[in-house]
Structure 1
Amino acid sequence: MKCYKLSSTTDVLSLFQSLGVTKEGIAILKQKAHLNFIYIKDLKSPAANILKQDALSIGADLAVPKETITCKKPLVDALLIANDKQLKELSFKEKAQPFGLKALAQTLSQFSFTCKDDFTVMGVINANEDSFFQGSRFNGKSALHRIEKMIDEGAGIIDLGGVSSRPGSLAISEEEELLRIVPIVDLIAQNKLTCKAKFSLDSYSPLCLEYALSHGFEIVNDITALANDAVARVASKYKATVVLMHMQGAPSSMQKAPLYDNVILDVDAFFQERIEKAHAFGIHNLILDVGIGFGKTLEHNLQLLKHHEHFLHFGYPLLVGASRKSMIDTIYPAPIEKRLAGTLALHLKAYEHGASVIRAHDVYEHVQALSVLRALNSTF
């Protein structure tokens, strides 16, 4: 008899199938194969003691401060460790418990999900001369050729922008932004490229979005996450998909000492609010973007990428956009032109933690890297 240890990233469904496990058996076993680590903040001490005992009774566990059992502190933070099956059982158990555990049960039930292994690469095209990466700046026919090349390389979405949102950048008028994007939007429409890929406009200008959506664009990539009701109305009118991105502050000042109580929970609360607003305008096709580099320190960015899977509980696709950003330079000093390797490392980690839309300047390299990683994760 021989045995060997499998990596935690192995696709267990593929393994179960190769072993000849029945469909019924796979349905039961896959719930036991995925381990969840759930951080619970401000849990009442009596609730923590109850939850600890209930977790232990089903084979899960709850990490709590040592003084929890004496209830010296009214509130404690805790870490729940449970597989999908245990999470469902615990959610059911806590529905009958006091001290706020009924509400917690509802929240826990939202965390039973499985990351999908499909992906879409969103290629970046900028129609402005002040975007932070010179390699993404194009105009006229050069933009058309670049878009066609990205589609050939495997881009499923092309994201066009006419205004820089890099740290320290200043806003421009809607009219100026429109002048920048119209020639490219027109070329895209004239060459029927919207039949080959989806197109998004990186903008929060109702005027520009109206023009793009009326010419075949399908996605509104709004860094202000529908802060402007006029944008919401335009998106609703065209039944567009909307990317809701989190940003603390404005591009001109967002990197001046950004501060959060808890970046995961703060971004989560923001998404909850903006999702409700989108629904109020009849917008239900959404993509969520945690906004890497938009009002975040390096530590904030790393936390969001490491715990990206958390945001899947909203039930919407997750977009990540860390392409060639300054956080790479902070970790390993490198000019923008030499940050491709760091970009791939960040995006592959985000993909493994639930991101399915990858916004990148380098389409070919991303499609190749993600395809290889998907093969590694799905092959026993």
Structure 2
Amino acid sequence: MTINCKGQLIDLSSPKVMGILNVTPNSFFDGGKYKNEKEILSQVEKMLAEGATFIDIGAYSSKPNAEFVSEEEEISRIVPAINLILKHFPETILSIDTFRSEVAKTSIENGAAIINDISAGHLDDKMLEVIAKYNVPYIMMHMRGTPQTMQTLTVYDDIVKEMLFYFSERIVKVRSFGINDLIIDPGFGFAKKLDQNYEVFQKMELFNMLELPLLVGISRKSMIYKTLDTSIEEALNGTTILNTLALTKGAKILRVHDVKEAMECVTLFNKINS
């Protein structure tokens, strides 16, 4: 199970870690933390040294009820970050967290290797054309509505069954564009109530029937700290536990704020299964 990132084949038979870099002032955990070149480079260097295979840059917060950001503003945040990182760490495999085709296009042209779309192409009709044109790996997440409306769209008859249908439909659509490298993300916290997140997690191995790499992004999310009656800042231990369980259920990429701890999960998981 491999993906092609700018000519480099990444083997996902051993799980990989994707480090999160938010260049937004309002991300739910680290918003505003990386607002100048020194802070961005320091964090990227740290994540790469700790073992991250990918760095995922986001410039539009997708937390519930996040405020709208214009396309121009998103590009103005993300392109300088891409250029800065690739200037200092040219081998970095950059993923771009966006649902806008123009942001994706501009990011790829500036050196990004992967597009991570929370809407799986539903929020921009031109997204799949861009992915096909540039032939980059495409991460498709499950979500309903938009970041502003998703938490009002949480009624399901059978959430996992409906998610499998959602992904099956999107896979057919995306394949019709000739796109090869696909990754699916269950979208924990997106259009899902707390108990629904845990139902999806409990049955997560069912997504392996889609025969695509599975990305899990649960880092410091409310499903952890609300269950533990704690805070985002104190949610690392819970994150580590769920990341470990996600690996046992077939996760191939862990998308995290804390790379060192996630890499320890992967190392011990691989040791057990070696």
**TM-score (structure 2 length as normaliser):** 0.91
**Per-residue deviation, residues 304-340 of structure 1 (Å, max 9, x unmatched):** 1121111111111000000000011221111111100
Q: Which residue number in structure 2 is paired with residue 182 of structure 1?
A: 79
Structure 2 residue ranges without an equivalent (≥5): 1-11
State whether structure 2 residue 128 is matched by structure 1 residue 205.
no
Q: Which residue is 2:243 aligned to?
A: 347
Q: Which has the higher contact order (CA 8 A, sep 6+)?
A: 2
Please point out which of 266, 288, 304 is paired with 2:162.
266
Match of 1:235 in 2: 131
Is 1:275 the equivalent of 2:159? no
Show the counterpart of 2:52.
155
Q: Give a deviation string over 1:189-218, Cα, whole Å, max 9, x none.
A: 322x342x3210000122221121112211
The count of residues paired between Structure 1 and Structure 2 equals: 261
- Distance, in Å, in 1 between the alignment partners of 2:93 and 2:150 is 30
* Residue 136 of structure 1: how far off its partner (Å): 7.8
Aligned to 1:367: 263
> What SS is found at the alignment partner of 1:200?
strand
Provide Cα deviations, 1:238-277, integer angstroms capped at 9, x if missing partner: 1010000001222112223611111110000000111111
Equivalent position to 2:111, from 216, 222, 231: 216
Whole-angstrom distance in 2 between the partners of 1:293 and 1:161: 17
1:247 to 143, 153, 162: 143
Report what 1:333 is aligned to.
229
CA 1:137–1:272 in 2, change beyond 3 Å: closer, same or farther? farther
Deviation at 1:182, TM superposition (A): 1.8
Equivalent AA in structure 2 for residue 218 of structure 1: A
Q: Which moved more, 1:246-255 or 1:360-369?
A: 246-255
Please tell me whether the aligned partners of residues 140 and 182 of structure 2 are also in contact (alpha carbons under 8 angstroms). Answer: yes
SS at structure 1 position matched to 2:170: helix
Distance 1:308 1:194 in 2: 35
Contact 1:320–1:359 under 8 Å retained in 2:
yes
TM-fit CA distance, 1:296: 0.6
In the alignment, does 2:175 pair up with 1:310?
no
Query: Identity across aligned pairs (percent)?
Result: 38
Amino acid at match of 1:216: G
3-state SS, counterpart of residue 313 of structure 1 = helix
State the alpha-carbon separation in 2 of the partners of residues 287 and 347 from structure 1. 17
CA distance in 2, matches of 1:141, 1:210: 26
Determine which of 165, 177, 180 is the counterpart of 2:62. Answer: 165
Which whole-Å CA distance do the structure 2 matches of 1:152 and 1:371 have between them?
15
**Residue type of the alignment partner of 1:241:** P
Once the two structures are overlaid, the 10-residue window that deviates more, 131-140 or 342-351, is 131-140
Q: RMSD of aligned C-alpha atoms?
A: 1.6
Gap regions ≥5 residues in structure 1: 1-115
Return the letter of the residue paired with 1:169. A
Q: Which AA in structure 1 matches 2:143?
A: M
Instruction: Return the match for 2:194 from 294, 298, 302.
Output: 298
Give me the whole-angstrom Cα distance separating, in 1, the residues matched to 2:83 and 2:216.
28
Which residue identity is paired with 1:223? Answer: I
| Structure with greater proportional helix content | 1
Q: Which of 34, 40, 56 matches 1:143?
A: 40
What SS is found at the alignment partner of 1:287?
strand
Quick one: which amino acid aligns to residue 174 of structure 1? Answer: E
SS at 1:159 equivalent: strand
**Could you tell which deviates more after superposition, 164-173 or 319-328?**
164-173
Residue type matched to 1:171 in 2? Answer: F
Shift of 1:141: 2.8
